[in-house]
Structure 1
Amino acid sequence: MKIAILMVLAYLLGSIPSGIWIGKLFFKKDIREYGSGNSGTTNTFRILGKKAGLIVFAMDLLKGTLATCLPMIFHLDVNPLWFGLIAVIGHTLPIFAGFKGGKAVATSAGMLLGFAPLFFFYSLVFFLVILYLTSMVSAASILSAIFVTVSSILLPYFWPTILPTHNWLLTLVCFVLTCYIIFRHKENIQRIKNGTENRVSFGLNKKEK
């Protein structure tokens, strides 16, 4: 019973529509009506600015982390990745926002932070490098998701300090989320091919002000 209740809590945590709530509460805007129409971090940065974007990113990240930590907080003998995955599902299908949510990147990263912190920071470095090289959050997100999945298999053999043991559930969850992230970014991928993808004001190919 406790596991079921905490799984519902993990879903509700993931369902918190950070971008929508911050936009409506402080800016009187529904960010789904602007820009890409997405309620996630990138569109928040674009529509509401850096401060709001950072707050939304932190909220989306930490709700994945907190959900993943629930089994440890309540001393349950169950793999915390299940709770993190449920939070990601909540983020993408939020009950508080008509089951239309974000693209799962920040909350998936939060799940990784809760499960394997060193692996999270290792992956974050890769994300920042790709973001610097491309100035595109979409490209950095897609390539990082693929990188995390591959790394979850190889790191225990080549760099066990970062990820000491191989966990097939981690690899499976990463693979599923990678497929979903690629699917949700299909329009971004097309714009990248066309050379019309939105860029951020950071990196080698940054957007000119």
Structure 2
Amino acid sequence: MNIPAVLGLLVAAYLIGSVPTALWVGKWFFGLDIREHGSGNSGATNTFRVLGKRPGSVVMAIDVFKGWAATSLATVMLNQGAIQAGHLLYFQLTCGVLAVVGHIYPIYAGFRGGKGVATVLGMMLAIAPGTVGVCILVFLAVLLLFRYVSLSSMAAGVAFALLQLLPPFRPDNSLLLVFGFVLAGLLIYTHRANIERLRAGTESRVPLFGRK
């Protein structure tokens, strides 16, 4: 194992995740700090809530790409001979988690970020694209039905964990199965305030097809 190369790429994974997309989009194009509006989070959900569907879609797409790019650094390590093929999944998960940590605690934005849902999506897209493809359909279906990004995110996370129990989606490495359930639990935990608002009927809906 090439320790210096591995450490450098792990730091790079965190720095990629730290790019504060929502904060920069809000400041550069709308002249506001997204963290001072809506839920106070610097993420795609709050961008949808405060700035609308177009900026929210841009932020979500970039945040997904952050997770995918950071996780894909593990493949770079493998191709450069820095790690062994049998260790690929472990480094994919490590790079992806570091990107999510960077999104939640971005060094470029005073360590005040978002919840990391879109970045997690990109991370898992790099690891299990087939399973994530179905989860994206679940996300879109729930979003179209209820127009709650938070509910859609939690539904997609739970779907990822449950899908891996089915033979067509069952991973070769049981670590990914365990990680899927941990991830689903974390998504629900980090959305506990949203769950309270959903119960109270005060959670903000995102406008779709011109609907308010």
Same fold (TM over 0.5): yes
Counterpart CA distance in 1 for 2:190 and 2:170 is 31
Q: Does 1:40 align with 2:43?
A: yes
Counterpart CA distance in 2 for 1:37 and 1:165 is 36
TM-score of the aligned structures, taking structure 1 as reference length: 0.88
Select 1:187's aligned residue among 187, 193, 206: 193
Contact 1:104 1:181 in 2 (8 A): no
Q: Equivalent residue for 1:64?
A: 67
- The alignment of Structure 1 onto Structure 2 pairs a total of residues equal to 200
Q: Which moved more, 1:170-179 or 1:39-48?
A: 170-179
Q: Does 1:167 align with 2:164?
A: no
Q: Does 1:196 align with 2:202?
A: yes
Contact 2:26 2:32 in 1 (8 A): yes
In structure 2, list runs of 5 or more residues that go unmatched: none
Counterpart CA distance in 1 for 2:144 and 2:162 is 21
Q: Does 1:94 align with 2:106?
A: yes
Select 1:84's aligned residue among 88, 96, 110: 96
Counterpart CA distance in 1 for 2:111 and 2:161 is 27
Contact 2:104 2:111 in 1 (8 A): yes
Counterpart CA distance in 1 for 2:192 and 2:73 is 33
In structure 1, list runs of 5 or more residues that go unmatched: none
Contact 2:22 2:59 in 1 (8 A): yes
Q: Equivalent residue for 1:49?
A: 52
Contact 1:44 1:52 in 2 (8 A): yes
Q: CA deviation at 1:49?
A: 2.6
Q: Evaluate the alpha carbon distance shift between residue 53 and residue 93 of structure 1 in structure 2; reply closer, same or farther with a 3 A threshold.
A: same
Contact 1:11 1:87 in 2 (8 A): yes
TM-score of the aligned structures, taking structure 2 as reference length: 0.86
What SS class does the counterpart of residue 37 from structure 1 fall into?
coil
Q: Equivalent residue for 1:116?
A: 128
Contact 2:48 2:206 in 1 (8 A): no
